[in-house]
Amino acid sequence: MIDLHMHSTFSDGTMTPECLVAEAREIGLEAIALTDHDNTAGIDQLLAACNGGNGGNDVLGIPGVEISAETNDGILHLLGYFLDHTSVALGEALHRVRTGRQARNQAILKKLNDLGISLEWEDVARHAGSDVVGRPHFAAELVEKGKVKSRREAFDRFLAKGQPAYADRFRFAPEEGISVITNSGGVAVLAHPSTLTLEKRALRDFVASLRDMGLGGIETYYPGHNNGKIAAYEKLAKELDLVTTGGSDYHGAASPHIAMGRGFGSLKIPFRIVDELRSRCSR
């Protein structure tokens, strides 16, 4: 079994890349992909930890990334696999996104302070394992300050889209996001398509347009997908000649209800998907 969607302390996860590999090895996963948000800084550590395994107990490490793209219909994330994480062009593109994220973070901080919730940047950043601070770290500080009882409440009351402390940020256009991945030698995959607020026909047309832009796969097996959604995405992938991928979207302690490799408990992703993805790479 494999897990092709997880996050480390280099974005909004709570475990280092080395710890992710150690856990994957312990539970018997054959391959994992590190897909930190807008960031490939943890890939070298992941690959080194995977290569340090012993014989049949080793884990294949796959260089990956998760980036946000612009849409008016819900949330559009793109996963990249088997990319050249040392690519200068990729690094510059991801730096552009992180710069936009930093501007958004300062806007969120100001909005919270204007609402009478006094937070210091240093306190928020303390919750992040790297310089990529995101809304989950604001939520953690709100919990610690006693302003909310849970991270979910922090999002529901303040941080989610449409709430008083929400601030938007730079995102790639879909075609540009796919190109960032494919130009670095990787294969682009539509992450958790259920976060798009599109009806069946509109979703099919949208995914077809992404396919024409260079999309190579669709994340079919995911904790938030029931059997009906999985069947629908499998059918869509077959119709559009896309690889069906999957992963737990593992964040460690930040999402304690989701287990690596298993999601809510029933996630099982076969190794053959690795070979199918590799066959779509431009490298």
Question: Is the pLDDT score of 199 beyond 50?
Answer: yes
**CA 281 from centroid of its chain's CA atoms:** 19
Dist CA 251 CA 223 (whole Å) = 13
Is pTM beyond 0.75 here?
Answer: yes
92 burial level (CB within 10 Å; 0-12, 13-18, 19+) = exposed
Dist CA 130 CA 146 (whole Å) = 24
Annotated domain spans of the chain: 2-88+173-280, 95-159
Residue 224: its pLDDT value, please?
87
pLDDT band at 11 (very low <50, low <70, confident <90, very high): confident
How many Å from the N-terminal Cα to the C-terminal Cα in the chain? Answer: 24
Q: What is the mean pLDDT of residues 251-277?
A: 91
Residue 127: its pLDDT value, please?
81
pLDDT band at 131 (very low <50, low <70, confident <90, very high): very low
The pair phi, psi for residue 37, each rounded to 5°, is -70, 120
Better pLDDT: 166 or 281: 166
Q: Which of 98-112, 125-139, 164-178, 195-209 has the lowest mean pLDDT?
A: 125-139
Q: What is the mean pLDDT of residues 169-182?
A: 94
Q: What is the mean pLDDT of residues 174-190?
A: 97
CATH 3.30.70.270 fits 95-159, yes or no: no
Residue 254: its pLDDT value, please?
79
**CATH code, 2-88+173-280:** 3.20.20.140
Better pLDDT: 240 or 51: 240
Q: What percent of the chain has pLDDT over 70?
A: 96
75 burial level (CB within 10 Å; 0-12, 13-18, 19+) = middle
Q: Classify 150 in phi/psi space as left (phi over 0), alpha (psi -120 to 50) or beta.
A: beta
Q: Write out pLDDT tens, residues 48-68.
A: 999 865 545 689 999 999 999
